[in-house]
Amino acid sequence: MAMLCLLCVMLLGSSRSASAQQEPPDPVADAPIHLGILGVTPRVAITNLGVDTNVFNSTVDPKKDFTFTASPGVKLWMRTGRGVLSIDGRVDFVYFATYASERSANRATSTRYEYPFMRVKPFVSFSTLNTDERPGYEIDARVRRFEGDLLLGAVVPIGSVTQLEVARRQFRVSFADDATFEGQSLTQTLDRRLDAWEARYRQAFTVLTTLRVESSIERERFKYEPYRNSNSFKFSGGFDLDLQALVRGSAMVGYRRLVGAEGGTLAEFSGLIANVDAAYTAPTQTRVQTVVNRDLHYSFEIEQPYYVQTGWTLTGTQRVFGQWDVQFTGGRDWLDYRGLDPTDVRRDLIGRIGGGFGYDLGESVRLGFNMLWQRRQSPRVAHDYRQFTSGVSLTYGY
């Protein structure tokens, strides 16, 4: 019911007809800096400048340290005749004063090129990730992992307000040879590849509201643990809301079915998936953002090879006076583990609550101070911990 209400508000938040749509903006012309044929958007952030009271997410004897993260980045656009090339890159320099083993330089890049041909717009995109950051809530060690994502596809207009996108995806995940957690080699259990066919249908209802329906057929194959091999089918639908809408963001709800394949002995999964990230801004300068996610993720554990993560986060921001605002946030995530035996189940719970305040120094420049309390509860004592972090952040362009 809540989701239906959200979607209705989204539709009511946009009143102009879809037939009045304008041509998409030119990213090169809209970029804040121009260098010949290039459009450039620089970004930089200093975040988490403060204290982490449980650096290793330990159950007993937690370690405290001073930390911060510096994140320079840039996005480039270049026109090549009718085509557009975009490159987005970022480096996160993570610093810990005492525990040097937790320091890292994490790199993320993405490149996309599209070229309209007749009525069809073929595209190719490639992104990479080379990071020591924790891969989600499950693995509490900062270990090196690599990801590569290649997408080849085309966008085909069906009508004046409708388009179909078809793409072929190849995705790879690999961990460093020495990456371990709780004595388990992450290379052994989690190195894998995904091959998928994807289709997306978009239809503009109004200038600010777009219906989106998407589906995919996926084959996931593990390098060293073939019993984890699986085939999946996904289908979801929802809406995209423009940044100028009363409610902005996106809301997608759907269905996923996973079965073991080619020697895979995974317990079958079929059920609801969701990906919602929507924000409402009231005339009183109050902003409420809701994030809801539900999907399946692979675990490093041998006996329970995957879990279904269901989570929500609610963030409220209120302008108090001038450029000052206060913010409150809270949320929960449930990790429902499934074993090789369908009756072998386990649930972990992560709860969090936080708050802070901020000051807008200028366009795209923000200074903030935030605090976050987090607690994970698990039947396995080694995964049960508390953590408090606080720090200052300064961002430009993000």
Q: What is the 3-state secondary structure (H, E, C) of 277-299?
A: EEEEECCCCEEEEEEEEEEEEEC
pLDDT at 344: 78
Residue 47: what pLDDT? 95
State the pLDDT at residue 351: 97
DSSP reduced 3-state for 29: helix
- The mean pLDDT value for 231-253 works out to 92
- Can you tell me the mean pLDDT for 271-292? 93
Residue 28 — very low, low, confident or very high, per pLDDT cuts 50/70/90? Answer: confident
Contact of 67 with 87, CB cutoff 8 Å: no
What mean pLDDT comes out for the span 138-158? 95
Looking from the CA of 101 toward its CB, the CA atoms found within 13 Å total 5
| C-beta neighbour count of 380 within 10 angstroms | 12
**Residue 310 pLDDT exceeds 90:** yes
Q: What percent of the chain has pLDDT over 70?
A: 93
Whether 251 contacts 278, CB under 8 Å: yes
Cβ 307 vs Cβ 286: under 8 Å: no
Is residue 19 pLDDT above 80, yes or no? no
d(CA 264, CA 316): 44
* Section 305-309 average pLDDT: 95
Tell me what pLDDT residue 244 has.
77
Is the confidence at residue 208, as pLDDT, over 90?
A: no
Separation CA 27–CA 25 (nearest Å)? 6
DSSP code of residue 191? -
Asked if the model's pLDDT at residue 298 lies above 60, the reply is yes
SS3 label, residue 186: helix
Confidence at 371, pLDDT banded by 50, 70, 90: very high
Structure tokens at 295: 């999907």
**Closest by alpha carbon to 308, among 338, 350, 340?**
338
Span of 17-21, 25-29, 140-144 with lowest mean pLDDT? 17-21
- The pLDDT of residue 4 is above 60: no
Do 260 and 230 contact (CB within 8 A), yes or no?
Answer: yes
Helix (H/G/I), strand (E/B), else coil: 135: coil
Q: What are 315's two structure tokens?
A: 């963030």
Q: How far is CA 327 from CA 47, 198, 276, in A?
A: 16, 38, 20
Region 244-260: what's the mean pLDDT? 92
One-letter amino acid at 291 equals: V
Residues with Cβ < 8 Å from 120, sequence gap 6 or more? 154, 155, 156
Q: Which residues of 8-25 are buried (b: 16+ CB within 10 A; e: fewer)?
A: eebbebbeeebeeeeeee
274 neighbors 268 (Cβ within 8 angstroms) = no
When pLDDT is cut at 50, 70 and 90, the band that residue 230 belongs to is very high
d(CA 291, CA 386): 23
The mean per-residue pLDDT over the stretch 290-302 comes to 95
Distances from the Cα of 91 to the Cα of 40, 111, 213, angstroms: 17, 15, 33
Interval 280-299 mean pLDDT: 92
Instruction: Write down the mean pLDDT value for the chain.
Output: 90
Q: Is the pLDDT of residue 386 over 60?
A: yes
Residue 154 has a pLDDT of 97
For the cut 80, the answer to whether the pLDDT of residue 222 exceeds it is yes
Q: Mean pLDDT, to the nearest integer, of 6-35? A: 58
Distances (CA, A) of 58 to 3, 54, 178, 367, 383: 37, 7, 21, 31, 8
Of 207, 203, 211, the C-alpha closest to 237 is 211
Domains of the chain (ranges, CATH numbers): 2-16+36-396 (2.40.170)
Dist. CA 68–CA 49, nearest whole Å: 4
The model's confidence at residue 25, banded by pLDDT at 50, 70 and 90, is low
Inform me whether the pLDDT recorded for 7 exceeds 60: no
Residue 119 φ/ψ region, left for φ over 0, alpha for ψ in the -120 to 50 degree band, beta for the rest = alpha
Strands 104-114 and 65-80: unpaired
Measured CA to CA in angstroms, residue 114 lies from 26, 90, 117, 210 at distances of: 13, 22, 10, 21
- pLDDT at residue number 23: 55
If one counts every other C-beta atom within 10 angstroms of the C-beta of residue 324, the result is 12
pLDDT of 8 above 60? no
Confidence of residue 284 (pLDDT cuts 50, 70, 90): confident
Of the candidates 54, 196, 195, which has an alpha carbon nearest to the alpha carbon of residue 134?
54
Whether the pLDDT of residue 308 is over 70: the answer is: yes
Residues sharing a CB contact under 8 Å with residue 187, sequence separation 6 or more, in sequence order: 174, 175, 176, 177, 179, 224
Q: pLDDT value at position 239? A: 94
Give the length of the chain. 398
Return the pLDDT at 245. 78
Q: In sequence order, which residues have a C-beta less than 8 Å from that of residue 342 and are 6 or more positions away?
A: 267, 268
* Average pLDDT rounded to a whole number, residues 280-306: 92
Give the lowest-confidence range in 37-51, 107-121, 254-268: 254-268
Q: What's the pLDDT at 17?
A: 42
Q: What is the pLDDT of residue 380?
A: 87
